[in-house]
Structure 1
Amino acid sequence: MLRPLAELDVQVAVRRSLDESGHLDRSVLEAFQDAVDRTVSKHIRPNYVGAFARMYLMSTDLGIEGFDDDVAAELDEMVIGNNPIGQAVLSNDPQSGPIPRREMDALLVKLKDATERRLIPTTHLAVTWLFICFGCNSKNLRLIHEGDCSVVDVPDGDPVYQVQVPRIKKRTRGERDQFRTRQVPAAVGAVLDQLVTDNRQQALYRDGIDRRRFDWPLFRTRWAREDLLDGAFDASAFRVEAFWPGMILKEVAELLDLRAADGSRLRLTPRRLRYTFAARLVADGAAPRDVADALDHSSLNYVMVYFNARLDAVEQIDKAVDSFLSPVADAFMGRIALDEVDAQGAGQPLRRISHVSPTMNAMRAVGSCGELGDCEKHAPTACYDCRVFIPFVDADHQAVLDDLLLQRERRLANGDDPRWTQINDRAIANAKAVIRRCAAIRNVGE
């Protein structure tokens, strides 16, 4: 099926794309499709195009020179004829498809904790958060400059953090001719501010380098790339290379000890985070045009794979909850105390967290809050998803879990929107994790 690659016009497209962009770009696929249209029966043409896409994805994953991850992501989102190309998305491939909800929840919990306590480098935090927030490609990220990050003061409100994200593959002359303005949460904005501050403390700011000569990317190398100096790409000499964002994500998975459901290291890549971003939009009820806009696609063809892959919402919830024995579900970040006295430690008073339900005869303490300030979240449900919650070893956490599961079953039985049943799913997973950890502590004591 790849024999049309040998056609003369396809070879011309290959040479032209390598000369102009350094990799096989979309024009090669278009030339390949034209060759297929001339030589292959209509009903099997999608199979040939599918073979091209699979070849491109395999070559990209193997790191072969001349294949680009951004083009691969676009190919994997395509649906051509009746033949779906996005097999990783459609099959929910555990290694290359969208990250399952419970694995993504564990990632978010650990990433938030690492952000609050700055447990990993600021660069790593910024890269991971931007992929999660925007669902962008690696090239989008590499083209962001320091000046693209800004803070907008809102009268009688909190400041709004914005990022001007360069658009790609829009057939413009320059790489930064078009932008989309995207907002980020305040915590992510603070990470970006810190990254800019860190950048400006590097030696390149103190060595008398002519700032007018170079672009100043948000993510950049410490030293200028010699292969780009004194040429057409001189201004981009401090821009990181194409493989760099993927390498950073791999390091994040190791630094945060992120695990897949089978206990192996979570495969964290720009493409998987983009798939996850789109899949969660669909799960939250977004329309195809909204998903296309969020992914910055000009056509709906590239996003329909996510709607074709959509599972029944109740099945998704069942999979998210049915994780009692899964190591990735152990995402609870707080410490566990033997009792209230142990929780207080040096004697600092803590706020008691109690629970009452039809299955209990009276209100009973299940833990303490590590902060004395007022909290507007609903206790104890929200507590199991909070880093400052300190559960007690001998408390009846099973009763809390039973209530959470009962609430979920009632919502489903009442015909409520399945998305409402997902509200407490992470609390359910964390309550199970607390039960496991408490049991382990009791077993050690015995």
Structure 2
Amino acid sequence: MDHLIDLRERFNVGEFSSLVGFMEFWQACESLEKRPSQALLDTYKALPRKKRSKNDVVLRLDPEEGPFTRVEQDALFQWMHDQFCHKNLDPEHYLYLRLAMIYGLRGCQLRELVFKDFIKSDHGYKIRIFWAKQRGGDAGWRAKSEIFNLDEDLYNTVQAYKSIVLAGLEAEYPERANWYKAINNVPLFRRRLVGQRRGKESVPVIVDLPDLRLLEQEPKLQFHISDGVIRTWLYRIENMPGFPISPRTQQPLKISKGHRFRHTLGTDLSNAGLDEWSIASAFMHANTHSVRKYRAVSPELMKLIDEKMSDHLALVVGAFTGTIVTDRTSAKNGGRLDRQIEDLAVCGADTVCYLDAPFTCYGCSKFQPLLDADHKAALARLERRREQTIAIDKTTGVLWDRAILACRKVILDCNALLESGSTAGWDA
């Protein structure tokens, strides 16, 4: 086996694939007296096509091109959700990131999507995803597809965006097509030729070509966005204010590098206990060759990295925005019984919010944690609550992470304040 691996290192991907094909042909020639054994052929076929697999970005958990850790995923999800809600992130960009995170799609698969690929049926909400071109296969542009489950909330978001796009098309090109009919074939991510006009408000809804009416019949490639424009989007998003910082590099998370979302999905599915064929099916692969590497990344390793990074992420994510107080007398509303949050803190809000205290409080700007309180016990309770929630619904469960990060920041700040011997309030 060692000799076979050494031999593998001498060939590039194409050469080694040709060698494996020749070995398979040779083994099938029953008229020949000497043929390679089936065991040897199986070993050849099992070897990864890429050389030096130890340098694979997945296997070495490359912090810029490999899979995101759960802490990084949660920080990114929370950031893009907040930015979208505050209208700082365009619907196109939000949907692209969210679909990439959920399905681990290649860029070409995302760019192929049109509005009719989002389906409401008697069996729930579905999404139609097209195969990327396969080696030796016949899958071309929107030629072969599969149906996957879709979250109802995401379906509703897409439908709301569809209404916005339809209104824009009717206003911009009122006589160029029957847009009520054509909208289903309009790309989710459209070619728009931004540079043709000035000002964000005057950017066309879709590129102005003479054959817009063709969209009444079927999707057309010329109206879909290009890979280069998507990369420009992702670079700009990485540089937006407040974009999550990677605790591993101390730089903004890289979302523009290769197949990071795909690598993350494969690693998560493997750590969830799925077998190679199930992962390959989720990836729309015809075989398991390229998904075997995900089985090598253990959940224990990912958990260890998350634990090591959590305190560092708490320092940079800005989750805690309240004020640490030394005692209740120095806190706003400190004398009011209805503003006491167990033995942990005082609420500085003017009115009662009726949210799930103390779990939702650590991320609130009105939260005034007590310096000497047992915030580590509160952290343990928050983490248990998160695990209980995420076991049912990961999308909802990750929303606890910001409160957890804020609690960690409170613990770090309290420790720093106690070590310094200061008695002044600590403003986040």
TM-score (norm 1): 0.63
Q: In structure 1, how many angstroms separate the alpha carbons of the residues matched to 2:344 and 2:70?
A: 32
Conservation of the 8 A alpha-carbon contact between 1:254 and 1:265: yes
Counterparts of 1:24-35 in structure 2, within 5 Å, are none
Distance 1:183 1:209 in 2: 35
Deviations 1:22-49 (A, max 9, x none): xxxxxxxxxxxxxxxxxxx995245523
Which of residues 207, 210, 221 in structure 1 aligns to 2:191? 221
**Is 1:280–2:255 an aligned residue pair?**
no
- Distance, in Å, in 2 between the alignment partners of 1:371 and 1:320 is 35
Match of 1:254 among 229, 235, 239: 239
Counterpart in 1 of 2:255? 268
Compute the displacement of 1:365 (Å): 3.6
Maintained 8 Å contact 2:379/2:408: no
- How far apart, CA to CA, are the structure 2 residues paired with 1:444 and 1:403? 19
Tell me, what secondary structure is at the counterpart of 1:88?
A: coil
Segments of structure 2 that go 5 or more residues without pairing to the other structure are 17-46, 193-205, 385-396, 418-422
Q: Could you say which residue in structure 2 is the equivalent of 1:24? A: none
- Please show how residues 117-132 of structure 1 align to structure 2 within 5 Å: 117-132=86-101
1:162 aligns with 2:126: yes
| Runs of at least 5 residues in structure 1 that lack an aligned partner in the other structure | 1-40, 54-77, 155-159, 355-362, 410-421
The amino acid that maps onto 1:90 is L
- For the residue of structure 2 that corresponds to 1:131, the secondary structure is helix
Distance in 1 of aligned mates of 2:111 and 2:298: 33
Q: Distance in 1 between matches of 2:304 and 2:169?
A: 52
What is residue 210 of structure 1 aligned with on the other side? 177
CA contact (8 A) 1:135 1:277 kept: yes
Residue from 141, 163, 167 that aligns with 2:110: 141
Cα contact 2:128–2:147 (8 A) shared by 1: yes
Q: Secondary structure at the match of 2:220?
A: helix
Which amino acid is 1:163 matched to?
I
Compute the displacement of 1:328 (Å): 6.2
Kept in 2: contact 1:146–1:217 (CA 8 A): yes
Deviations 1:127-172 (A, max 9, x none): 1100001100001101110111233477xxxxx5432122222533
Which of residues 400, 404, 407 in structure 1 aligns to 2:375? 400
Deviation sequence 1:68-112 (CA, Å, 0-9, x none): xxxxxxxxxx92388528711111111211123322222122122
Structure 2 Cα separation of the partners of residues 343 and 165 of structure 1:
54
Alignment of 1:167-246 (within 5 A): 167-170=131-134, 171-172=137-138, 174-203=140-169, 206-207=172-173, 208-210=175-177, 215-222=185-192, 223-224=206-207, 235-246=220-231
**How many residue pairs align between the two structures?**
345
- Structure 2 counterpart of 1:433, which letter? K
**Given residue 44 of structure 1, which amino acid in structure 2 is its aligned partner?**
L
SS of the residue 2:167 aligns to: coil
1:217 positional shift: 0.8
Shift of the 407–318 alpha-carbon distance from structure 1 to 2, 3 Å rule, reads: farther
The percentage of counterpart residues that share the same residue type is 17
Q: Which residue of 1 aligns with 2:283?
A: 295
Answer yes or no: is the 8 Å Cα contact 1:263–1:328 preserved in 2.
no
After superposition, the Cα gap between the structure-2 partners of 1:429 and 1:235, relative to the gap in structure 1 and judged at 3 Å, is: closer
What CA RMSD, in Å, does the superposition of the two structures yield over aligned residues? 4.5
Whether the 8 Å CA contact 2:276–2:292 is kept in 1: the answer is: yes
**Cα pair distance change 1:42/1:227, threshold 3 Å:** farther
Contact preservation (8 Å) 1:102, 1:329 = no
Give the TM-score normalised by structure 2. Answer: 0.65
What is the alpha-carbon distance in structure 1 between the residues aligned to residue 5 and residue 313 of structure 2? 48
1:316, distance to aligned residue in structure 2 (A): 3.0
- Higher gyration radius (CA): 2
Which residue matches 1:322? 308
Corresponding letter in the other structure for 1:265: P
Return the alpha-carbon distance in structure 1 between the equivalents of residues 338 and 158 of structure 2: 34
